[in-house]
């Protein structure tokens, strides 16, 4: 049996979000500044003049740190539902989360010992 009325609030929020984004983009186009100058077209970075080229290569270190951040950040995604259902899962849930966190800590120690978290711009 399909319960379509329970999906109406979600549909309402999606339609509201789409309508709000269209209205805000229209207002920006309508009320936004119209005069174009060299200063307005210049790229803006933290209040300082841009230097170098946009085609500069980044070291692999930046990507490794970003991937490690994502991997260890996903831990929170698994911890939240576990914390909500902590009493229902009982000892099995505690043991499985202990194994999960133990493996995560081992991975962090491994990455740390390998030097992947050392932020050295020369290497």
Rounded CA-CA distance 15/18 in Å is 5
Q: Is residue 42 part of a domain?
A: no
Judgement on whether residues 73 and 113 belong to the same structural domain of the protein: yes
Q: Does residue 66 sit in the same domain as residue 123?
A: yes
Q: What integer pLDDT is reported at residue 42 of this predicted model? A: 74
Cβ proximity of 104 and 68 under 8 Å: no
CA 79 vs. chain centroid, Å, equals 17
- In this predicted structure, what is the pLDDT of residue 47? 67
* Phi, psi (deg, nearest 5) at residue 85: -100, 20
| Number of domains within the chain | 2
Cα–Cα distance list, 118 to 12, 59, 114 (Å): 48, 13, 9
Q: Name the one residue in this structure whose structure tokens are 């077209």.
A: 41
pLDDT in tens, the chain (123 residues): 567 788 889 999 999 999 999 999 999 999 987 888 887 777 776 767 667 777 777 777 788 888 888 888 888 888 888 888 888 988 998 999 999 999 988 988 998 898 887 776 554
Looking at the structure, do residues 64 and 103 belong to the same domain, yes or no? yes
Asked whether residue 53 is assigned to any structural domain, the reply reads no
Residue 46 lies in a domain: no
Regarding whether 28 and 67 lie in a shared domain, the answer is no
CA distance 87 to 81: 11
CA distances from 63 to 45, 90, 116, 121 (A): 21, 39, 11, 13
Does residue 69 belong to any structural domain of this protein? yes
pLDDT of residue 1: 53
The answer as to whether 38 is a domain residue is: no
- Write out 47-65 in H/E/C secondary structure: CECCCCCCCCCCCHHHHHH
93 inside domain: yes
Domain that holds residue 119: 58-123
Q: Does residue 44 sit within a domain?
A: no
| 52 lies in some domain | no
Q: Write the CATH number for 72.
A: 1.20.58.1610
pLDDT of residue 19: 98
């Amino acid at each position: 049996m399909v319960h379509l009325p329970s999906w109406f609030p979600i549909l309402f929020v999606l339609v509201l979000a789409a309508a709000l984004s269209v209205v805000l983009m229209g207002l920006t186009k309508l009320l936004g500044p119209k005069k174009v100058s060299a200063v307005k077209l210049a790229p803006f970075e933290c209040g300082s003049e841009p230097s170098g080229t946009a085609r500069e290569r980044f070291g692999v270190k930046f990507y490794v740190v970003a991937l490690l951040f994502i991997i260890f950040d996903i831990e929170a995604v698994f911890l939240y539902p576990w914390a909500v259902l902590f009493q229902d899962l009982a000892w099995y849930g505690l043991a499985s989360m202990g194994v999960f966190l133990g493996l995560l800590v081992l991975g962090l120690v491994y990455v740390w010992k390998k030097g992947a978290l050392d932020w050295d711009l020369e290497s």
